[in-house]
Amino acid sequence: MSTHWTILIAGVLLGSCYKSPIVPDELRNNPFDPDYDGPAVFTLEDHHVDVVINGADTNRVLRCEVRVHEEYFLNPTTYVVHYALQGDTLAGTVQSFAIADEVFTTSIQRVTIGQEYCIDLRLGNTGSFASPVALCAIAEY
């Protein structure tokens, strides 16, 4: 009879440890992965145009404040944000240590009032980057 109890207890213990298999192709909750499909990691917090006058030169600069939602990261980590103005060669990278309170500012030079400008943002770490996400703003005072 004790053999039956031993087998029964062993079966219950082994059965309680079963976990469903992890299928890597179905994991899309890591914001650093190219196929991430969770909540938006980047949001446009605010934007405005500054007028910079240098002698006879007038430059309108669109400043976009972008929030990085670190609460969607699976673990606290360092990261970089690569940004590029659509249709232009303007590009840059911001390191996480330079981002205060999860917000950083991009500047787009020589904008036209009333025109929409879009920036592609990519989250990265350890040399790989997620798919780009576009944030757009209209240049206005």
Is 129 inside any structural domain?
yes
- Please tell me the total count of domains within the chain: 1
Is 19 within the bounds of a domain? no
Read off the pLDDT band of 75 (50, 70, 90).
very high
Q: Is residue 23 part of a domain?
A: no
Range of 44's domain? 29-138
- Asked if residue 7 belongs to a domain, the reply is no
Is 113 within a domain? yes
CATH code of the domain in which 121 resides: 2.60.40
The pLDDT mean for the chain works out to 89
Query: pLDDT at position 3, please?
Result: 72
pLDDT of residue 88: 87
Is 1 inside any structural domain?
no
The answer to whether residue 47 sits within a structural domain is yes
pLDDT score, position 15: 58
Residue 21 above 60 pLDDT? yes
Q: Could you tell me if 130 and 31 are in contact, meaning their C-beta atoms sit under 8 angstroms apart?
A: yes
**Whether the Cβ atoms of residue 117 and residue 111 lie closer than 8 Å to each other:** yes
Least Cα distance to 69 among 96, 93, 108 occurs for 96
Residue 13 domain-assigned?
A: no
